[in-house]
Amino acid sequence: MKCIYCNSEAELTSSDIITYAITGAKLTKSFVCKTHNAFTNDNYEKNL
């Protein structure tokens, strides 16, 4: 599996905001690298 933002295969984590916004459900698969997950947390999740 690779990060959906940068195709990195290192330190993949799950990101709830994307899947929850689209489907209303949380996925258990890790598809976002740690760097981009932190970015979405800091820039989007905290504001919502």
Rounded CA gap, 44 and 21, in Å? 11
pTM (predicted TM-score): 0.63
Q: Is the C-alpha dihedral spanning 4, 5, 7, 10 positive or negative?
A: negative
Q: Are the CB atoms for 8 and 16 separated by under 8 Å?
A: no
pLDDT single digits (tens) 1-48: 888 889 999 999 877 666 666 666 666 678 889 998 888 778 776 666
